A and B are shown apart, each in its own frame.
Chain A
């Protein structure tokens, strides 16, 4: 009963507004466009999720096919022999973790120091921004160019130092072999350069987020700049810094070309920094282009292991970052 009564004036209004060039309800075409646009956006957003699901599904499916044939020996064997159909990735797993840990030690330390320099007023604000952008350029240089630089600049430069270390400190397992060219040390050094921008950017963000009044209070009590940094800034920003290190580690784990060119591609693991080794990503890059069917199956398994390791590390990093952000609210 009420419906026709209320409808009357509304349709009358729309009758009037249809004639007006200024205000009128959307016509049929505009309504269709509206709906099509919303559904396209929604569908393509779902497409991004499907993309990730597709990547994971495809790698798992291909790996699963040959996992049964390879058996558990795949994870514990250290021979990769395509002709003999023996595939083991233990040295690559250990090599991936070893090079990334070394890179984290060097690049992480340098990155956090750089973040301190760029956030605690050591430089004029303009210089700070310029240096921050220059550090970001480090990340823009393609990894294959770092590989080329490593082969022709870094390794020749390291050779005399490495020979000296081997001569004087050869009794330590770390320096027990001679540097024959590519090896763990040059690979880790280049890796550390490549993760430095990531660590610097995220750690700096964490330090900048520390409320200024905390530092001001410490200065007011007579603390020197480094006392403020060590006792106020770093403890308060520790969540962000730790997250930066974990995410940098995740980056190092997946980095491919610099390692494929510099690590030596030798399926043997030794503690010596000067010996060649292998990593999962380098294994994939070096073997995929010429692999036969059985080897491709084994490589898919290696890809799955790499996927699982990086997913776990990145998830941990994001979790730490989220907790760090929550921890800072309320301090400001």
Chain B
């Protein structure tokens, strides 16, 4: 101990000096990396800033309740598009949630590592990596061509294909996180497997399942490409007919983004603000509902 701290040379060698080549390289790389990391966040802030600046002046009750304006009109809102997005997403949820959730229950509880569950998991991964426009192409092939018209129903089918894999994979993970002690206790008390699943497994895993569902639905609400091929757009209110084209926020943004009319472009910004606000709200809610165990 004495010997180590005696000489001035030994003491100096433990201090980091910027003149040293290795220290300098280390500090410089740190600065560059943090700079790049921050610059990766710039687009996000720019997008959010522009949404507020260009979208908020139009925010009013009329915006949310009036029909989309035609070419050259100076008034009107996005009411039918908001309602349309809600209708199509609900339709898609109705079709996809039973499929995704039951498949997840099978994977987590019944399938174990059977041949079927390997194939199901593979199919889920492939579906979740598939470009969203291909879901639109498929829905076009089976619903639009067959029924002879673009329709809200076809839009629901397209979005459902995108929701299924997300819900299935996240719900399976949530179900697997339930401690096996709880499952064994239920079975030991004489519960059938189905009783154990519905009364113990699902309620315990509910927060995780809900997170996945909310993330999947909010992503579906922002999907544009599949709707362009299926639901198209409508300048009128949804009147209960699922076999006709329907408006949506996403397609409205796309249609009006290239419009030569200032007012329509402004509406596109306002619709983006509403859409992003909805999506972010869902995302934050989803993160509040569960905190992943690794982050406790």
Residue positions of A touching B, CB distance < 8 A:
23-26, 30-31, 33-34, 36-38, 40-49, 51-55, 58-59, 62, 110-111, 113-114, 116-118, 122, 129, 131, 133-138, 140-149, 151-153, 193, 196, 200, 224-227, 247, 250-251, 253-257, 260-261, 281, 284-285, 288-289, 296, 299-300, 303, 306-307, 310-311, 314, 318
Contacts and interface: CB of A to CB of B under 8 A. Distances in A.
B102 A40 contact: yes
Contacts, number: 263
Interface string B16-46: 0000001101100110011011011101101
B134 A254 contact: yes
A46 B161 contact: no
Contacts of B218: 140
Contact of A144 (B103, B138, B222): B222
Nearest to A109: B36
Secondary structure of the B contact surface, majority rule? helix
Output the residue of B36, B168, B195 with the most chain A CB within 10 A: B36
A110 B39 CA distance: 9
Interface of B: 22-23, 25-26, 29-30, 33-34, 36-37, 39-41, 43-44, 46-47, 50-51, 54, 98-100, 102-103, 105-107, 109-111, 116-117, 119-120, 123-127, 129-138, 140-142, 145, 150, 161, 164-165, 168, 190, 192-195, 197-198, 218-219, 221-225, 228-229, 232, 250, 253-254, 257-258, 265, 268-269, 272, 275-276, 279-280, 283, 287, 295
Contacts of B110: 38, 41-42
The 10 closest A-B pairs by CB, nearest first: A254-B131, A142-B222, A44-B102, A45-B106, A37-B194, A256-B225, A41-B106, A117-B37, A224-B26, A314-B129
A281 B225 contact: yes
Contact of A145 (B36, B161, B253): B253
Contact of A34 (B47, B133, B194): B194
A226 to B, nearest CB: 5
Contacts of A54: 138, 142
